[in-house]
Chains A and B, each alone.
Chain A
Amino acid sequence: MRQSKWFLLLAVAIMSMALLVSGCGGTKEQAVQGGTSGDKVVKIGLMTPLQGDVKTYGESVQKGFELALEEANYKAGDYTIEKVVGDDRNDATEATNVATKLIDQDQVAAIVGSVTSKCTIPASSIAQARGVVMISPTGTAAKITMDPKRKDYIFRACFIDPFQGTVAAKFAVNDLKAKTAAIMFDQGNDYTVGLSQAFKAEFENSGGKVIAEEAYAQQDVDFSAVLTKIAKQDPDILYLPDYYQKVSLIGKQALDKGITAKFLGGDGWDSSELDFATMDGGYFTAHYSSDDPRPEVANWVTKYKEKYNTEPDSFATLAYDATKLLLKAIEDANSNDPAKIKDALQAIKDFPVVSGKITFDADGNPVKSATILQVQKDGSYKFVTNVQP
């Protein structure tokens, strides 16, 4: 008797845990219906990491996505937009689960997401196979839209890895007058591998010398051996194309080892949780700067500040751009058929968004310039220059 009571208690406890967990897993929200729209509805999924090592990216992306929808009043053409949000925790396995859920269970016509390349690559294969349009705001790996053939349902709103690495190398050679560089990259992450390869190729092409190329794994926290080695070689540049949390940790240990090289990195640095005191004076390639004088930029910065009371970062901006591009395509196609939306997206020409005037090339990548920003101790970024592709 006693034992069965315990069992009951245990079962109830487990069930309530399960409820709790599933409650955290994915939040499903529906837009307020316009009333007159009838059954002309198009569902858009947002796939983004709201927990885990890059959750600030995910939160910014969600803000940009929602602002774009609100601005359009949840309308595109004759269609009312419904949104579904899924959290992939920056985990490639979870990303495939979320993509499958959005497509099969929620039956979305298009997905905005995901944020990192490692989640977007597997998710994009699923979207392509099921014929659902996907536009990644910030997935920079070349493989997202091509693997190895063009995945014609997949687009992105940002430039790609090789481009970012190339731009960083050009900047290092031309503006920083660097002769030597050391590179550290995460060997299990397509994003950092892609950036470092492109950086190396361009840097050596321009007459520089890469004196160290060191790999690490995602769980590594001790870089002392490699950094001691790099400190001895004393390069002009330490290229760290990883996400903010890893970069902060490596930067701190690099300073501990007395490394004086200038830190240089990619758009992964763009986070309010970067260790600004450590990375002070470092440069990185970014998608836009809020100091840019174009009217789209000023309008976006004002609106974002009004709603969220903080400066938008690249992630919010690109999510906003990606969502606007998608809305434009739905409006042009005036349909909720993914096949028509993807054709409309590919046909977009010189559409002005915050990060530039967008036209897609044949591979689904936008053609635009990159911005170099410098990290400031007080937690802000200084606009340095624009680099043309």
Chain B
Amino acid sequence: MEFFLEQVINGLQLGLVYALIALGYTMVYGIVKLINFAHGDVFMVGAFLGYFGFTYWGLPWPVAIIMSMVFCAILGVVIERIAYRPLRYAPRMIALISAIGVSFFLEYFCSLRFVFGANYRVVQRPLSEVSWQIGGITITNIQVLILVAVVAMLIFLQWIVHRTKMGAAMRTVSFDHDAARLMGVNVDRTISFTFALGSAMAAMGGVLYAIAYPQIQPFMGIMPGLKAFTAAVLGGIGLIPGAVLGALIMGQVETMTAAFISSQLRDAIAFGILIVVLLFRPTGILGRTETEKV
């Protein structure tokens, strides 16, 4: 039983990090109907900046996270301005290819020797490791940190989307660009804001990921990005609660498969479940044909 609970916590840790990335995917999709494949690479840039912040620039780690989030928010806006905005009314496939292009650009640009370099770097954790024994289960301060950060971000996001003027604009744009513009909503600024928000969350996810699994490299964003995207689709893409639910399921499925079935089948089963769910519920677990999107 304790063994099972400990595995649940392992899965929760993984799922929460996926959730931070999945939120960015789902918000952007909800608003511009674009799958932003560069999202996983913004996550990578975030992890590197956080690492530089607390390792080389002497910043306390919370400041490093915020610095990384601010920079990635700007990066997200720049990416949207250069690679997506000119293609907003082009066929969807074109924007998708552009997104893949940005993804490769970020990966290989960051691999250059004078940027981050292609090497793996070992991250020295900025906070000392503490673990608590609660009824036979081991919980670490890093797991608690991730949980607190994700919950705080979720509450913040819900507040922005449902309680602020910008949130109302985001919801309006997600229904219809033209109608929103007629209502006096600044569509361009709303979309930029969405990218900034999503990228900042990816950056936070990146830094937390680097602290939890202390190794970083320029291609580290591909796999978590793919899995977070899967999670967003599983939960119902475009839906904020769906992204979190999907991510938590992905985390649990992966961990439980490795723990109780076989570590070799981990990804096969995780992605197999995605296919099965989509066969029966093409809009995802929480998805309905008509729903409030952001």
Chain A residues packing against B (C-beta within 8 Å): 24, 51-53, 55, 89, 187, 214-217, 219-222, 224-226, 228-229, 232, 245, 248-249, 252-253, 256-258, 273, 275
Contacts and interface: CB of A to CB of B under 8 A. Distances in A.
A114 to B, nearest CB: 17
Contact of A55 (B118, B255, B262, B264): B118
A258 B2 CA distance: 15
B122 A257 contact: no
B119 interface: yes
Given A51-B118, A225-B259, A228-B3, A258 B138 contact: yes
Contacts of A55: 118-119
A228 B10 contact: yes
Interface string B7-46: 1001101100000000000000000000000000000000
A51 B115 CA distance: 14
Nearest to A50: B118
B159 interface: no
Interface stretch (B163-171, B197-205, B209-217, B277-285): B209-217
Interface in B163-182: none
A224 B14 contact: yes
Contacts of A53: 119-120, 217
Contact of B140 (A187, A249, A256): A256
B215 A225 contact: no
A52 B118 contact: yes
Contacts of A257: 138
B3 to A, nearest CB: 6
Nearest to A248: B122
Contacts of A256: 129, 131, 140
Interface of B: 3, 6-7, 10-11, 13-14, 111-113, 117-120, 122, 129, 131, 138, 140, 209, 213-215, 217, 220, 222-223, 254-256, 258-259, 262-264, 266-267
A51 B10 contact: no
Chain B contact residues: over half helix, strand or loop, or mixed? helix
A225 B7 contact: yes
A217 B267 CA distance: 9
Contacts of A249: 213-215
Contact of B258 (A24, A187, A226, A232): A226
A224 B263 contact: no
Contacts of A258: 138
A219 B120 CA distance: 12
Most chain A CB within a 10 A radius of its CB, from B6, B7, B131:
B6
Contacts of A226: 258-259, 263
Contacts of B111: 51
B120 A224 contact: no
A134 B215 CA distance: 34
A215 B7 contact: no
B10 A224 contact: yes
A219 B254 CA distance: 14
B213 A221 contact: yes
Given A53-B120, A224-B13, A224-B14, A245 B259 contact: no
Nearest to B226: A219
Most chain B CB within a 10 A radius of its CB, from A221, A226, A245, A248:
A221
Contacts of A215: 262-264
Contacts of B13: 224
11 contacts: A24-B112, A24-B113, A53-B217, A215-B264, A217-B266, A224-B255, A225-B254, A225-B255, A229-B3, A229-B259, A245-B215
Most chain B CB within a 10 A radius of its CB, from A187, A224, A229, A256:
A224
A51 B14 contact: no
A9 to B, nearest CB: 15
